[in-house]
Every structure is written in C-alpha cells, then in structure tokens.
Structure 1
C-alpha cells in the first residue's frame, strides 16, 4: 500500500552514468515519479550527488537499472557494485530493470538476481523481430495484446528449479517479456521492452508515439514489484 502523506517518502534510486544512455534514466525516473507510491526519486552514479554504494542503497526501498548500450560494456562499469546490489535485494530491497537493466538482472554477465538468466529476444526461436534497430513489439500483458517500444531487449529464461516467478507479459513466441520474482527477502522486476519510453524516443526513431502509450504497463510492473 502506498505510504500515507504523514510518513516519510520512500527513496527510489535510479542509476545514471556510463552504463546507461542519455534519456533512459530520465524516462525511468519520470515513470517512478508518476506512480502511486509517493517515491522520492534520486539518481546514483559516478557523477551524481549519490554514488552507487551499499551506503546509498541502505537508504532506499528500490534500485532501478535503466536501458543503455552493450551488456559487456555496462557490466564492466558495474561489476564492482555487484555485491552491494545483490546484498540490497537479498536483504529486502527491490530491483527494477528495463531492457539493459533486465539483461543485467541475469548472470552471464550480471547481478545474478533472477531464477534463471536473460538472453537476446531477437535471437530466440520464432522471434518476430530479428534486427537491432529501434522498433515496436507486441506483447501479451496479463493476457491483453499491447505494443511497446523495443531496443534489442531480453527475454527471461526461467529455471523452475530455482524458485517461482510471476510472468506479467510474454512475447509473440511465448517467451517471458516481463516478470517479478523473489530474491532472498527482496524481489526483482524486469521487462525486456521499454514501457517507460517517452514520445521523443519515437520521434528520434522516425516513428509515431503509441496510442495508447505503454506507461501503464511500467506502472503495473512497479506495483507488482513493490507488493511482492
């Protein structure tokens, strides 16, 4: 349940730095601020007022990893923070990953938070998108077909023997596109496409913005994660 106005606003941290790309952290922060959870949203990163550290995470209820560039490059920038992020989630925190943040929730390489791993959707059997260009993909979110901005995002390869997961959305080939799963005393929520994408993303890619926009899907994922 969202906090009452008399209680301190819970802190959500959004990574912004060399393991992300301009516009991605800001879109995630905008989504979080639009939620019903009355979150106090701040950025963490090497050039921010807060660094990504165990001390910063200890003050937060949620850590969000936005989209970005190449997985290997991003992981090199974040590798030293893996123990802090894993400890944060394992002791009760929430991890929210979009696209690259979904890849990083896996383990080859990544934070190792999922009951399984993440992999490239465009290389999966039966994928309707096979190129890395910005586009729109159709997912089935809670059974309803919805279109979402897509930038070579992951699917999530679940191992039933490693714990439960609540799959919120699947791609057209049936592979998980968004889910929430427990990790220790905390939880992880990830999505392969970009429900947080703002209208300028579409314009930059030569596309018209979606009608309806998909921000409600990102808020749904956040709600499911915060209640997990």
Structure 2
C-alpha cells in the first residue's frame, strides 16, 4: 500500500471541547485508525475527497491510511482498523463497483459484519445499495435527486441547529418511513426534511450514510467549497464518534 499522510491542521474551535465515546476496543491505536479508499491520486477530484476526509479525521486524533483497488483485503483488518471510509468521487457508482475486486467487496462486507464501521459519503453511500455492497436492506431511496448534479450549499439540521454543507449529486435517503431496519437519523435537509445523515446496523457492525461533504475545503476550486471551507468538519467528526461508539443507541 502506498501511504500518504496529509499535513496536520488546527482543528476548528467547534471540535476542541468534544469528548470521544467508548469504542469497539479500548486500545488507542485500534479505535483511532481509519482506512480511506483512494482510487486515483492523479485524479484531483478523487484525491481531494479522500485526502480531505483524512485531514478532517486527523484533526480529531485519528491515524489514517489509504488504499486503492485490490488493496482493501490486506489492509482492512479488524484488529488494526476500526473505520473504513468510502468517499465521494467523480465515477459512476456501477462503474466503481465493477472495478472493485471480489476480495475488495468480500473484505468490506466481512469487516462490517464482524463489528467494523463503514462511513459512506455521497458516492460511498450509493455503494452500499442492494446492487453493490448490499450493506443496507433493499429499499428505494438510494438514488440521486433530479436536478442536484451541480455543486450546492445545502441547508441542513444537525444537533437542532441549521447548518450549511457542501453537496454534489447527493443520494436521496428518503424519510425514516422510507427506510427499513433499525437506524438513527442525525441530520435532515431543511427544505424537505429528507435524511442527510443516518447510522444503521449491519450484523455486528454499523454503517453511516452521508449525503453531503463535511470534509469540503476551499482547495476544491469552486465558490461553494470556499464558503464552507472546513466549517462542517465538526459535523463529520461528531458523526464518526457516534458511529464508532458502542454506547450510541440506534
């Protein structure tokens, strides 16, 4: 695996007083290690999604490492990694799924089934659907909303506060009534009250689906990302803490 560790960033003030909850294992090096998928370093959009998630997690004390296609099996080891992150990107979800190897797919499913955590952001949320990784029960909401293909600043409710988050062709997660199974909704879009972030069980593990990009930074090169530069990092970090906390009740 080729590893790249982004330079440290000073965490936003909204993160400074947070306390990390209990986790799968008390050992620091286990509960604070994330494996982030990075398909192509030469693709600026792909690398920005992955590496800026890494920066966001590092600001909250996580160690991060990266892997590509065909590298997941040897790196996604439950005794060493607690969190697997499937970020957004500019590839069609079906095309990405076809590029993953059989061992990649089996390793992700087995990791989560045995107690690991999966964070799917935008494209990574699409990938959990029944025709791909099948980490969610069969249901209809995992398709994008028509007319949301352009970058947008979306207004969401998170922790009873109205916030802005960067979105670009986000998955439509529907309402709680649309989604079968036991789950917890952490954030909704203010416009139509549909789900923006949810956490649900998958056997012994948990899966988080996130429509927006809390990791967005000004280096993404558009006016919307510049507005929210690192401002939503606390949304991402707080969500990950709840995802990885065994005491967080669904």
Same fold, TM-score > 0.5, yes or no: yes
Q: Distance in 2 between matches of 1:55 and 1:215?
A: 26
Change in CA separation of 1:122 and 1:210 when aligned onto 2, cut-off 3 Å: same
Asked if 1:136 corresponds to 2:157, the answer is: no
Pick aligned residue for 2:29 from 6, 9, 26: 9
Q: Please state whether the residue corresponding to 2:47 is helix, strand or coil.
A: coil
Aligned runs of 1:171-210 on 2, under 5 Å? Answer: 171=189, 172-201=191-220, 204-207=221-224, 208-210=226-228
Aligned runs of 1:104-183 on 2, under 5 Å? Answer: 104-107=127-130, 109-117=131-139, 118-123=141-146, 130-157=147-174, 162-171=180-189, 172-183=191-202
Count of paired positions: 212
Residue of structure 2 equivalent to 1:60 = 81
Change in CA separation of 1:121 and 1:173 when aligned onto 2, cut-off 3 Å: farther
Q: Tell me, yes or no, if the aligned pair for 1:16 and 1:44 is still in contact at 8 Å.
A: yes
Stretches of structure 2 that go unaligned for 5 or more consecutive residues are 1-20
Pick aligned residue for 2:48 from 23, 30, 36: 23
Pick aligned residue for 1:91 from 114, 117, 134: 114
Q: Please state whether the residue corresponding to 2:154 is helix, strand or coil.
A: strand
Change in CA separation of 1:132 and 1:216 when aligned onto 2, cut-off 3 Å: same
Structure with bigger RCO (C-alpha 8 Å, 6+ apart) = 2
- More off after superposition, 207-216 vs 154-163: 154-163
Per the normalisation by structure 1, the TM-score is: 0.82
Stretches of structure 1 that go unaligned for 5 or more consecutive residues are 124-129
Q: Please state whether the residue corresponding to 1:146 is helix, strand or coil.
A: strand
Q: Distance in 1 between matches of 2:178 and 2:122?
A: 22
Q: Tell me, yes or no, if the aligned pair for 2:86 and 2:124 is still in contact at 8 Å.
A: yes
1:135 deviation in Å? 1.6
Q: Tell me, yes or no, if the aligned pair for 1:99 and 1:194 is still in contact at 8 Å.
A: yes
Q: Distance in 1 between matches of 2:179 and 2:166?
A: 32
Q: Distance in 2 between matches of 1:27 and 1:67?
A: 11
Per the normalisation by structure 2, the TM-score is: 0.75
Q: Tell me, yes or no, if the aligned pair for 2:69 and 2:99 is still in contact at 8 Å.
A: no
Cα offsets for 1:141-188 (capped at 9, x unmatched): 233211101111112246778421100011221211101111111101
